[in-house]
Amino acid sequence: MDRWFLLIATLLAAIGGIWGMISVHRGTRSHWTVVWMVAVLLCQLGFLSIRGQLRSACPLHDLGEMLVFLAWSLTLFYLLIGPAYRISLLGVFSAPLVFLLQSAALIAGLLTTSSTPDFAPNIFHSLHSAISVLAYGVLALAGVASIMFLVLDRQLKVHRLKSGLFRNLPPAHELLVSVERLLWLGTALLTLGIIAGFLMPPTTPLHSHLVVALAVWVGYAALLAVKTLRGLTGRKLALATVALFILSLVIFARI
Amino acid sequence: MELLCLGLNHRTAPIEVRERFAVSTPQLGAAASDLATLADATEGVVISTCNRTEFYLAASDARQALVLLEARLTLRESLDAGAAVHFYRKVKSDAAVHLCRVVSGLDSMMLGETEIFGQVKQAYQAALAAGTTGSVLNRLFQRAFGVGKKVRTETSIQEGSTSVGSVAVDLAEKIFGHLKDSEVMILGAGEMSRITAQSLVSRGARSIFVSNRSFDRAEALARDMGGQAVRFDDWQRALERVDVVISSTGAPHALVHRADVEKVRRARKFRPLFFIDIAVPRDIHPDVADIEEVYLYDIDALEQLASEGRTRRQLQIEHCERIIDAELAKLNLPGT
């Protein structure tokens, strides 16, 4: 049953993305993208709640679950932030990433077939996993908004302003403000996740997972410090945000 | 009852003739009442904008009413017989189609402009308040407003910018969003920069700095626009804080070089900077565009975008006319 929810969520994300892209190509705004993404979120919740009940804990025990949790977090923050900042196009850009993350989770082996209950869940372990993945969802959304900025920036630079995409993209300043706010929120959540990680019972020695997590945190903190204190061009901020998110995916490979 | 329209506009009459027939907004109701006193007429509406004056009437014999109205106007304005060439005459369904075209902006100087919709509405309301509309004109105007709305929502007749000034303003909004936090600097107190800057201010730009070789002219323009004059030697310092630079000096060579912008980047914290260069020869060296956060548009780029906008609107005319025909065909309007 859980896989069916995931499969439907993945298909809905694909349909939402394609639907949105067709609308953008025609030069119209797709308000339906938000509806598709709400449906995606509901199916993701269905998947995560079934997995959570089976495990009797937060469903973050294998890479597949983490990827779905990440996709859920990305969808959730898109729905919270996208309409508020009137950047409905963000959904069109987010849907393909949600589709990719969930498709990866569906690859054989990433999602364990029998979800066994976790009889001794540790609160800090659950908090560490949940808050960290939530943070990566926010940072993924910052990456998506950055890509939108890079597309707009390129079009403005080379005076290619005829496309439906250009007409529908929100102003460059609004995108940069969104990127910066998402970076602050994501980094704050990441900080809490790392603190929770340090409070976990010391069952495992310091390993590469912690090193990569700290490196990612330092990267985001440095980016925000440079942006705040010295200033940064929109293009550099956007490129660094995308690069840091791709780098942060290493975390998932080290699990 | 038959519907008729007598009018003149920017295509049929020069401004010297148009201004003689212009009716001020507060006088529209009285003008409609006067129109309705014409022998044979029962209803009347007068539309008057800077580009057109039109008289809509419902009369039992449209041809006869047209002759009478024309004679009355010619006599009142002491025009010679040759003045008749400036008028266009529409009767029955042609008059209804014409009104729908006017309301939809298809007959405007700036194709697809939206202001005309409000102006026609105002004229109709004035006539309504004066009691000079009845079953013919009420249905006609209400239908025309419905058609105008449909044309605007179902076509892209009003989309895109069609003038250099509006292209510049739209680009500024695409970069900065709301312009309420944006500051603008004008280099050179020319007419074109004044118009463009005025458009930015009308969309909310926070403050204007004017720099010109002649400080007196800079001060005069700054005063006109509620801005601040900057000595020509100091424009580089002002560059640290502004978001948009509009340049149209008569300098024979580039005035703003890459080094000038590089110098202020740190102080600006690498915020986006939008250069609108409407001078020929160009004031901004093309190398400035290579700076990451700079968006540079010269007069050719802006004119090309405006021309594309105009072409896009032209391509929509046929679609709009199909909507008008279809909508009017749905109803059997009285007087047509």
CATH of the domain at B198: 3.40.50.720
- Mean pLDDT score, B67-80: 82
Q: Residue range B204-224: average pLDDT?
A: 90
Contact between A172 and B173 using a beta-carbon 8 Å cutoff: no
Positions in chain A whose pLDDT score sits under 70: 27, 29-30, 57-60, 83-88, 113-121, 202-206, 252-255
- Structural domain contains residue B253: yes
Q: What is the pLDDT of residues B249-296, one digit of tens each?
A: 888 899 999 999 999 999 999 999 999 999 889 999 999 999 999 999
8 A C-beta contact, residue B150 and residue B323: yes
Q: What's the pTM?
A: 0.78
Q: Which two tokens stand for residue B155?
A: 């076509």
Quick one: B67 and B173 in the same domain? no
Identify whether B34 is part of a domain: yes
Contacts of B272 in chain A (CB under 8 A): 172-173, 234
| pLDDT at residue number B301 | 93
Does residue B336 fall inside a structural domain? Answer: no
Domain, as residue range, for B171: 164-308
Query: Could you tell me if B171 and B303 lie in one domain?
Result: yes
For residue B83, tell me if it sits in a domain.
yes
pLDDT (0 to 100) of residue B206: 85
Is residue B335 domain-resident? no
Our count of domains for chain B comes to: 2
Assess A157–B contact: CB distance below 8 Å, yes or no: yes
Q: What is the Cα gyration radius of chain A?
A: 18
Is B289 near chain A, with CB under 8 Å? yes
Name the nearest CA neighbour of B141 among B122, B115, B114, B113: B122
CB contact under 8 A, B176 and A171: yes
What local confidence, expressed as pLDDT, does residue A198 receive? 84
> Which residues does A226 contact at the CB level (< 8 Å), separation at least 6?
A232
Confidence at B165, pLDDT banded by 50, 70, 90: confident
Q: What is the mean pLDDT of chain B?
A: 90
Domain match, B199 and B235 both: yes
CATH assignment at residue B16: 3.30.460.30
- Tell which wins on pLDDT, B163 or B120: B120
Percent of the residues in chain B that have a pLDDT greater than 90, as a whole number: 57
Q: Tokens 């007087």 correspond to what residue?
A: B335
Minimal C-alpha gap between B144 and chain A (Å)? 26
Q: Are residues B17 and B135 in the same domain?
A: yes
Give the pLDDT confidence score for residue A121 in this predicted structure.
64
pLDDT of residue A116: 61
Same domain, B150 and B28: yes
Helical residues (DSSP H) of chain A, grouped into ranges:
2-26, 32-55, 63-81, 89-106, 123-157, 164-168, 172-198, 208-229, 234-253
Q: Which of B13, B270, B322, B334 is nearest to B151 (CA)?
A: B322
What's the average model confidence in pLDDT over B310-324?
91
Domain boundaries, chain A: 2-113+122-253
Q: Are residues B18 and B153 in the same domain?
A: yes
The pLDDT value recorded for residue A57 is: 65
Are both B176 and B228 inside the same structural domain? Answer: yes
Q: Which of B159, B177, B270 sits opposite A233 (nearest CB)?
A: B270
- In the predicted structure, residue B95 carries a pLDDT above the cut 80: yes
Residue A16: CA count within 13 A, CB half-sphere: 30
Q: Which of A159, A169, A230 sits opposite B301 (nearest CB)?
A: A159
* Strand pairing report for B52-59 and B2-9: antiparallel
Instruction: Indicate whether B97 and B121 sit together in one domain.
Output: yes
Residues of B with a catalytic annotation lie at 50
pLDDT at A99: 92
pLDDT at B159 > cutoff 90: no
Query: CA of B309, closest CA in chain A: separation in Å?
Result: 9
| Closest residue by Cα to residue A102 from A143, A69, A54, A134 | A69
Instruction: Assess if residue B215 is contained within a domain.
Output: yes
CB under 8 Å to B239, separation ≥6 — which residues? B185, B245, B260, B261, B264, B268, B273
pLDDT band at B186 (very low <50, low <70, confident <90, very high): very high
pLDDT of residue B8: 93
B147 and B18 share one domain = yes
Residue B209's pLDDT is 94
pLDDT at B251: 87
pLDDT over 90 (residue B88): yes
What SS3 state is found at B134? coil
Looking at the fold, whether B211 and B103 belong to one and the same domain comes out as no
CA B241 to mean position of chain CA atoms: 32
| Span of A51-60, B171-180, B243-252 with lowest mean pLDDT | A51-60
Band (pLDDT 50/70/90 cuts) for residue B96 is: very high
B171 to chain A: which residues are within 8 Å by CB?
156, 161
Instruction: With a cut of 80, say whether residue B297 has pLDDT above it.
Output: yes
Say if residue B281 is preceded by a cis peptide, omega within 30 of 0: yes
Chain pair A-B, CB pairs under 8 angstroms: 52
Indicate whether B177 and B283 sit together in one domain. yes
Same domain, B185 and B78: no
* ipTM exceeding cut-off 0.90 for this assembly: no
A135 CA: distance to closest CA in chain B (Å):
27
Cβ contacts of A154 within 8 Å, gap of 6 or more: A160
For residue A231, list chain B residues with Cβ-Cβ distance below 8 A: 266, 268-271
Are B301 and A174 a contacting pair at CB < 8 A? no
Range scoring the smallest mean pLDDT among A162-166, B210-214, B240-244, B285-289: A162-166
* Predicted pLDDT at A227: 96
Any idea of the CA torsion for A248, A252, A253, A254, to the nearest 10 degrees?
A: 90
